[in-house]
Amino acid sequence: MSASLDKGVNVLKEMIDAPIASYFNSCVHCGLCAEACLFYTETGDPKYTPIHKLEPLRRIYTQEYTLLGKLAKMVGLSKPVTDDELEEWQELVYNSCTLCARCSLVCPVGNDLVYMIRKFREGMAVSGHAPEGLIGATTRAVEIGSPMGIRLPAVQAQMKHVQEDTGIEIPLDREGAEYMVLLSSMEIINFPEYLGAIAKIMKQAGKTWTLCSTAFEATNSGIQIGVGDIAKVLVNRIVEGAERLKVKTVISPECGHAYTALRWDGANLVGRPFSFEVLHILEVLDGFREQGLLKTEGFEEARVTFHDPCQLVRRGGVMEQPRSLLNMVAKDFVEMDDPAKYNWCCGGGGGVSANEDAEELRLQAFQVKKRQLEKTGAETLVTACANCRIVMEEGLEHYQLDIPVVGLTETLAEHLVEAED
Amino acid sequence: MAKNITLYEALASRGITRRGFMKFCAATASMMALPPGAAAAIAETLGKTLRPSVIWLSFQECTGCTESLTRADSPSVEQLIFDFISLDYHHTLQAAAGHAAEEAREHAMTMGGHLVLVDGSIPTLAGGLHSTIAGITNLQMLQETVENASAVVSIGTCAAFGGLPAAKPNPTQAKSVQELMDEGLIARKPLINVPGCPPIPSVIAGVLAHYLTFGVPELDKLGRPKVFFGDSIHDRCYRRPFYDQGKFAKTFDDEGARKGWCLFELGCKGPTTFNACATTKWNQGTSFPIEAGHGCIGCSEPSFWDAGSFYKALSQPTEPLDLAAGAVVAGAAIGVGASIANRAKKNAAKSQHETATLKDLEK
Amino acid sequence: MNEIALLNWARGPGLDIAVAVFLLGTLWRLIEIISLGRKKDLSAPRHKPGASGWHTIARRSVAPPGMLKRSPISYIGGYVFHVGLALIVFFYAQHIKLIESLIGLSWPALPSQLIDLVTVITLAAMVLVLVDRINKPVKRYLSTFEDYFTWAVTFLPILTGYLAVKHLLLPYTTMLALHILSVELLLVVLPFTKLFHVFTAFMSRWYNGNANAHKGVSV
């Protein structure tokens, strides 16, 4: 085991760039980032202030990349960052941050704090200060192929299930298909309805698609633990698969961080632009809707509301599509207060849900989502990320609220006009 | 030569009536805002006082101060003052010349208790040889005259603060009377500063009258009588309401100038200048610079010649910012230097990068 | 040194040195920051009208929904004193003359009595912002000596300027000298403290807006 403080500091020196320097030099200690962070608002503990989570990185920046900081370090006015400090910061950087980026949205001087946290995790991880749960998930992702330890046989079993349920063939390794569909472990294990929904919708739209035997997993633990080198390995599997199967578009499933990892970080991790398109399933479905390829009937009777997955909406840019699609099948759709890019995190993203140490804090932070939900008076909570879904189900159960949480794709599929064959 | 008759007797012999004398005393008391009984006190004291000997020393000066005092075209209270003192030495006004003049001075000095009035600054470079009178330096003349004096009055900004000769680069190392006393070059005596370039005539007369009657008046931190120098021009200026409203003349001939607006933007130093110009005014109360449309140049303040252009406002710098261009270049150079170091460090870190694998996640 | 000599120094060499340090520091620090560079984003961009670094520079000055209620003094106090300070610096006739002598440009001033009122409000806002910093747990937790020092360095010029014009506390000449000296102190420390956000806030807003615009999110 070769994690070390030196490795951590070295990688942080690589990570620090002009935006980060600008951000640290702009912070005026106004504390507004804390007012946007659910971990602060629901606990009242100032240590969860986002900019405070970055304090060791700030010191490394000033000591390494500013003349005055170098001088201060030399004369002892600024202490070098120690291993103990990084140990102390583990809770702040991993347990109390989901990379939701509400802080990045509200900072009056324009700091993108999540950009900095993500890079800080690079140093934290290789100095041995990432949480056990995340290390486990990442290990499984690299060695087995999925963070929850799912192998191809498990996927094939699900495929068989869905084939039987829907009567539609689930293609595997079909070369030349237009779409390559990825799944998240969460969906394979907890929400198999998703795969069935895809199959039905693709059939109605008349599109060719396929799963890939070497790249069925969308979730990227490398992004969550914050190690680009490992994230790159995981992305490369998808790239290799997509290029091998010569698909036009790779579909990222209902998972927030998978979308971020592939759509936005992917090309930068592998060092070249992709030769294929990457779309979130909702982008694909909305495209079908616009082309008249998505035919639905009937409406949900219950009042519904929508939880915006942070990585999809605020960090991903897929904001209007969920609404256009939900409005197709819901008559009583009520937005949450603070909707769309202002919505509050479910509390489980960014690796927090895989981190047992963070469970208590996560449940406490969930109160904001609970209040939002109660205020809408909705009877069903719709979302488009399997991790948000499971986290919110757990949270609602903890607070004894009996409101079902459903995925948008599967809801749409339920309203598909039956095929006339 | 001090005469052994009282001031009142001397006046009476000159045809000054008692009424005229009382008028002077009343005017002086009122000008200095003294209480009602003061006029009588001035009259009684002055009336009984023996005329003191006054030696007026003129050094590096332009004679403007004397001109100011004597610039009256009809007999006035200012001229009366010469009847209250025995002016035993004054370059411009005395009849004697050469040795006779110097003898008069020496005689007055030996009697002691005389009042010394000084105008002009005193050069000190190379022993003070840049200004000599009767074969001795100004510094020497001042030293010996002040030795047994009762008090000294610096008339005009040159004597009070160094004035024009002391302006940058001060080639003669001109000093004020105050500085010479502080440096121990002349005997320390009670000193009154009456600055101005020149001072207002009635201010000079009023200070002397006060000294003769009541002694040294209350002085501010710069040794100036508060009664005349206690308020700034700004605080007594009739154009002050326009300053407060932000109505400024921007050129000497624009609408604002013609409407008599504040002259701050045209360089008026009224706010930082302490003198009686705004109330007592000049030419027997006719006008003063601001009223005539020109900003105050601050002539009763130290270093007013070195306070930047008379036409630059107080909020503007007094000299061009010479360091700015160099600072930009130096800053850019430091920045570039820092960048090179930063780039090198980043590249070094990159080259030291070991691709992270699972075993790097735990210690 | 008498007060008029102090004033002349402040208006002369003092200003020269302060502006020089300000320019030197600003260029040094800006280049030091920008030189660290930024990697190009190789992912396929999403185009959205109204999303760009420049838009964010403007948009970030508006409080996001819900935030004003959570921290009203941060926004209201902050805006009042920033706007107030800008009005005082750029629209008081005496200051416009200073700017004119530095860069040759000038413009009409606001009535001086209005600036007086703005000054009182600005001073009050600054005191409010300080009290909030001491009272609110998060702000107190984050604050270091530098936060209080920069507050004082910003407060003093406004206070001394007001005292000078109103003839309060000390005689005008001294008060004016202190006012100019306090501005010079502000200039000298600006590039080396959080006051540098005067420049970097716009850079940061631009970087943030630009990166997010690439994803089609207008921040």
- Average pLDDT score, chain C: 96
CB atoms within 10 A of CB B348: 13
Is the Cβ of A65 closer than 8 Å to some Cβ of chain B?
Answer: yes
Q: For residue A404, count CB atoms less than 10 angstroms from its CB and return exposed for 0-12, middle for 13-18, buried for 19 or more.
A: exposed
C112 to B235: CB separation less than 8 angstroms, yes or no? no
Mean pLDDT, range C24-36, rounded to an integer:
97
Is the Cβ of B351 closer than 8 Å to some Cβ of chain A?
Answer: no
CA angle A32, A36, A38 (to 5 degrees): 135
B335 → closest Cβ in C28, C95, C167: C28
Chain A nearest-CA residue for C215: A317
Q: Which chain B residues have a beta carbon less than 8 Å from that of C4?
A: 272, 301-304, 307
Name the residue with tokens 């189900």. A393
Mean pLDDT, range A217-225, rounded to an integer:
94
Binding partners of C (≥3 Cβ pairs within 8 A): A, B
Q: How far apart are CA C197 and CA B93, in angstroms?
A: 68
- Taking Cα atoms as reference points, which of A61, A6, A5, A11 lies closest to residue A228? A11
pLDDT digits (tens, 9 = 90+) for A328-342: 999 999 999 999 999
- Checking B88-97 for CB contacts under 8 A at 24+ apart, the result is B88/B1, B88/B2, B88/B53, B88/B54, B88/B55, B88/B114, B89/B55, B89/B56, B89/B57, B90/B56, B90/B58, B90/B66, B91/B56, B91/B58, B92/B58, B92/B63, B92/B66, B93/B56, B93/B66
B353 → closest Cβ in A14, A65, A125: A14
To the nearest whole Å, the CA of A349 is away from the closest chain B CA by 20
Chain A nearest-CA residue for B341: A65
Torsion angles phi and psi, residue A51, rounded to 5: -65, -25
What is the residue-wise DSSP string for B220-251?
A: -TTS-BHHHHSSBHHHH-TTHHHHHHT-B--S
Best mutation target among C39, C54, C208 (most A Cβ atoms within 10 Å) is C208
Best mutation target among A22, A65, A71 (most B Cβ atoms within 10 Å) is A65
Q: Which chain C residues have a beta carbon less than 8 Å from that of B323?
A: 16-17, 19-20
B339 to C31: CB separation less than 8 angstroms, yes or no? yes
- Taking Cα atoms as reference points, which of A292, A283, A337 lies closest to residue A313? A283
pLDDT at B2: 45
pLDDT at B1: 40
Q: How far apart are CA A229 and CA B351, in angstroms?
A: 15
Q: How far apart are CA B303 and CA B298, in angstroms?
A: 9
Which of A164-178, B2-16, B91-105 reaches the highest mean pLDDT?
A: A164-178
pLDDT at B75: 42
Q: How far apart are CA C215 and CA C219, in angstroms?
A: 11
CB atoms within 10 A of CB C219: 26
To the nearest whole Å, the CA of A318 is away from the closest chain C CA by 8
The pTM assigned to this predicted structure is 0.91
Torsion angles phi and psi, residue C87, rounded to 5: -65, -45
Q: How far apart are CA A412 and CA A400, in angstroms?
A: 27
Q: Which chain C residues have a beta carbon less than 8 Å from that of A115?
A: 208, 211
CB atoms within 10 A of CB A31: 25
B317 to C32: CB separation less than 8 angstroms, yes or no? no
A32 to C71: CB separation less than 8 angstroms, yes or no? yes
Is the Cβ of A399 closer than 8 Å to some Cβ of chain B?
Answer: no
Q: How far apart are CA A311 and CA A349, in angstroms?
A: 9
pLDDT digits (tens, 9 = 90+) for C144-163: 999 999 999 999 999 999 99
C113 to B244: CB separation less than 8 angstroms, yes or no? yes
pLDDT at C152: 98
Are C210 and C53 within 8 A, CB to CB? yes
Polymer length of chain A: 421
To the nearest whole Å, the CA of C25 is away from the closest chain B CA by 6
pLDDT digits (tens, 9 = 90+) for B180-226: 999 999 999 999 999 999 999 888 888 888 888 888 999 999 999 99
Q: Which chain B residues have a beta carbon less than 8 Å from that of C19?
A: 321, 323-324, 327
Q: How far apart are CA C77 and CA A233, in angstroms?
A: 49
- Average pLDDT score, chain A: 94
Element of type H or E holding B21? helix B18-31
Residue C30, pLDDT > 90, answer: yes
pLDDT at C36: 96
- The alpha carbon torsion through A54, A57, A61, A62 (nearest 10 deg) reads 70
C2 to B234: CB separation less than 8 angstroms, yes or no? no
Mean pLDDT, range A271-288, rounded to an integer:
96
Which value, in Å, is the radius of gyration of the alpha carbons in chain B? 29
Residue B277, pLDDT > 60, answer: yes
Torsion angles phi and psi, residue A57, rounded to 5: -65, -35
Q: Which residues of C1-18 are buried (b: 16+ CB within 10 A; e: fewer)?
A: eebbbbbbbbbbebbbbb
pLDDT at A8: 95
C33 → closest Cβ in A18, A68, A277: A18
Q: Which chain A residues have a beta carbon less than 8 Å from that of B352?
A: 10
CA angle B156, B158, B160 (to 5 degrees): 65
pLDDT digits (tens, 9 = 90+) for C158-189: 999 999 999 999 999 999 999 999 999 999 99
Residue B32, pLDDT > 90, answer: no
pLDDT at B311: 97
Is the Cβ of C11 closer than 8 Å to some Cβ of chain B?
Answer: yes
Best mutation target among A30, A100, A223 (most C Cβ atoms within 10 Å) is A30
pLDDT at B81: 62
B246 to C113: CB separation less than 8 angstroms, yes or no? yes
Q: Which chain A residues have a beta carbon less than 8 Å from that of B359?
A: 1-2
Residue B14, pLDDT > 80, answer: no
Mean pLDDT, range A301-313, rounded to an integer:
96
Mean pLDDT, range C85-93, rounded to an integer:
97
A35 to C71: CB separation less than 8 angstroms, yes or no? yes
pLDDT at A325: 96
Q: How far apart are CA A264 and CA C42, in angstroms?
A: 8
B327 to C23: CB separation less than 8 angstroms, yes or no? yes
Are A36 and A105 within 8 A, CB to CB? yes
Q: Which chain B residues have a beta carbon less than 8 Å from that of A135?
A: 361-362
pLDDT at B310: 96
Chain B nearest-CA residue for A227: B356
Mean pLDDT, range B126-133, rounded to an integer:
94
CB atoms within 10 A of CB B71: 14
User: In whole angstroms, what separates CA A255 from the centre of its chain?
Assistant: 6
A14 to B350: CB separation less than 8 angstroms, yes or no? yes
pLDDT digits (tens, 9 = 90+) for B329-360: 999 999 999 999 999 999 999 999 999 999 99
Are A166 and A178 within 8 A, CB to CB? no
Element of type H or E holding B211? helix B201-214
- Taking Cα atoms as reference points, which of A150, A155, A172, A118 lies closest to residue A310? A118
Q: How far apart are CA C41 and CA C34, in angstroms?
A: 17
C8 to B312: CB separation less than 8 angstroms, yes or no? no
Mean pLDDT, range A222-234, rounded to an integer:
95
- Checking A271-274 for CB contacts under 8 A at 24+ apart, the result is A271/C42, A272/C42, A273/C42, A273/C43, A273/C44, A274/A239, A274/A242, A274/C43, A274/C44
To the nearest whole Å, the CA of A164 is away from the closest chain C CA by 38
Tally A–B CB contacts below 8 A.
64
Instruction: State whether residue B301 is helix, strand or coil.
Output: coil
B338 to A66: CB separation less than 8 angstroms, yes or no? yes
pLDDT at B79: 58
Beta bridge partners of A306: A382
A138 → closest Cβ in B349, B353, B358: B358
pLDDT digits (tens, 9 = 90+) for A57-71: 999 999 999 999 999
pLDDT at B318: 94
- Taking Cα atoms as reference points, which of C30, A271, A57, A13 lies closest to residue B344? A13
Bigger pLDDT: B81 vs A301: A301
pLDDT digits (tens, 9 = 90+) for B73-113: 444 555 566 667 788 888 888 888 889 889 989 988 887 88
pLDDT at C190: 98
Which region among A53-62, B65-74, C195-204 has the lowest average model confidence (pLDDT)? B65-74
B354 to A142: CB separation less than 8 angstroms, yes or no? no
Mean pLDDT, range A178-198, rounded to an integer:
88
Query: How far is the CA of A313 from the CAs of A38, A188, A318, A388, in angstroms?
Result: 17, 23, 5, 13
